Structure 1
């Protein structure tokens, strides 16, 4: 009897350990706060994947740059040290050049137009663009529209940007846009931006309302100008090394869970945008709605620069012609 009492717990632990090994875990890292709609959508995606697969697959989410910046996470995907990540299209364009079309200023007429493009064959074509760089795009998450926020004075017209150092992502398109508007683009990682704003390394930055709020940048920058120059989506990416070892059934499970997370995230995003704007106004931020036409006129030259690239310019035209 004593032998049975001793062996049984060991047998249970052994069986539990084997069961745990049977679960395929995908590691997903990103740089956002746990209160962000994208993080919440990823948590739901993991829950859905576990349910759809009957407990055979799950996702472990590592938020807040625990495993590195967006660029570093993409590099980890390429060598197979990380399975999945979320990055802005602005960062992804360094690995999949045609994606920079989505970061062109005022390329989208409004939010619905952006959804119509991203959910079309144009969006899928651009997701597939990263595969040759060992990065497979799975889906787009709504990241709203990006606008300028500054410390000392509001940017109500492009002339106000003259001489100002504006933080941008590591994106050629974003840098070209700020230059065309008269500012001085300064690439800085998201995790270092709060301190850079405090210390005067940059005079301002540009991002969407929830990111402005959740990062607490509103504590330093008291002017937020809703020029909405770019409507830059986030991209959910899986490394091809991780994707290609999955069975066809496992790939279908991941895709189904991903597809379920997209409308869920978009709903959360719409709610978080309003909450963020209300919160920063309450904290003393002056929110200004400028004449967007003044900004649009200054960036026309960016589009002209692509006319010689027939393949890329065709994508621009297809986006413009999408209803």
Structure 2
């Protein structure tokens, strides 16, 4: 009887050891494989694709309205497959910081001003050339052109892919004490600008003192006379209440202000062709909304500002600025083939 019990014990122990050995090994390998599949981004269509998107503008800004349209389009096409986290207002840092985060894959997408991109790629100074378009429709044709999309090729040293553009529209002059109508009116004026080599060069030729400054400091600086005026998009004047300290407005339309829509290129390459098409379609929907909104809102903003107490409105003598415009166009086109092709396309669109 004792021998039978001992034999039975041996059998039971052997079975338990077998179960704890090969079975667990196979289970571990299966778990590892499933984790890899989930991380590749190329698994089943039921997988959720998370997109963390950042920019520096405030939630009420047209870029964020357009990103909401982008999100709605994704949901309509893919029925909840995409999950978006929007971080407006510079929550994740300034534009240089966010570009680095995008490059490293810490964020997935961003909208970044072409002024900031011109700091890392001269080709994006194309959008900072003065008087390249006269209307929003012309601007849209230009930003959808091959010449405009080719600018993204100059970012090859970064782990990013360009998908398109969003705009803040035309830029105007808002001054504290004196109107801007002629080049001489800018002489020795301290003008707040968004810094970029092309803008600094253009304004120094006009004998302006270009003054980089965060937008949050502009109201007080205008009020105290630290600066004489601002080069600014119409969309920012009202929410920042700059009409309270600047009373001389020239809707000069001298620059069309663009932001580039970027996505991390490694993430892009993991997506299926179908998912890439969905994203591209949603970007197009966002861009269409953006240009339609700007055409309406800019006219509304101008009417509101015109009716502000004490506000004076002036017209820029465009022809008087033409020698300065020609000089910077020729300089940048002569040293950068991307800019040359871009300006040629802009001239073609204006002439249509």
Matched, 1:300 2:320: no
3-state DSSP of counterpart to 1:140: strand
Match of 1:11 in 2: none
Could you tell me which of 251, 264, 268 is aligned with 1:226? 251
Structure 2: gaps of 5 or more residues: 1-45
Deviations 1:68-127 (A, max 9, x none): 223332222122222222222222222332121121111224433322222121122123
* 1:310 CA displacement: 6.2
Match of 2:312 in 1: 286
Match of 1:49 in 2: 74
CA distance in 2 between partners of 1:296 and 1:215 (Å): 31
CA distance in 1 between partners of 2:294 and 2:112 (Å): 16
8 Å contact kept, 2:186–2:206: yes
3-state DSSP of counterpart to 1:142: strand
8 Å contact kept, 1:41–1:265: yes
CA distance in 2 between partners of 1:223 and 1:68 (Å): 33
Match of 1:71 in 2: 96
3-state DSSP of counterpart to 1:227: coil
Match of 2:343 in 1: 316
Match of 2:54 in 1: 29
Superposed structure 1 runs of 4+ greater than 4 Å apart: none
The change in CA–CA distance for 1:240 and 1:115 in structure 2 (over 3 A counts) is same
* 1:273 CA displacement: 0.8
8 Å contact kept, 1:181–1:299: no
Pair member with larger Rg: 2
TM-score, normalising length: structure 2 = 0.79
Superposed CA RMSD: 2.2
Match of 1:4 in 2: none
CA distance in 2 between partners of 1:232 and 1:263 (Å): 16
Q: Select between 293-302 and 188-197 the one with higher mean Cα deviation.
A: 188-197
CA distance in 2 between partners of 1:57 and 1:144 (Å): 29
Match of 1:18 in 2: none
Could you tell me which of 87, 90, 111 is aligned with 1:86? 111
Could you tell me which of 190, 201, 222 is aligned with 2:215? 190
CA distance in 2 between partners of 1:195 and 1:242 (Å): 42
CA distance in 1 between partners of 2:152 and 2:116 (Å): 14
CA distance in 2 between partners of 1:191 and 1:137 (Å): 29
CA distance in 1 between partners of 2:227 and 2:106 (Å): 33
TM-score, normalising length: structure 1 = 0.85
8 Å contact kept, 1:227–1:295: no
8 Å contact kept, 1:49–1:58: no
Match of 1:275 in 2: 300
Match of 1:125 in 2: 150
* 1:130 CA displacement: 2.5
CA distance in 2 between partners of 1:131 and 1:309 (Å): 19
* 1:40 CA displacement: 0.9
The change in CA–CA distance for 1:244 and 1:219 in structure 2 (over 3 A counts) is farther
CA distance in 1 between partners of 2:158 and 2:216 (Å): 26
3-state DSSP of counterpart to 1:133: coil
CA distance in 2 between partners of 1:111 and 1:265 (Å): 10
Deviations 1:249-281 (A, max 9, x none): 322221111111111121111221122112222
Matched, 1:255 2:280: yes
What is the correspondence of 1:136-215 to structure 2 with a 5 Å cutoff?
A: 136-215=161-240
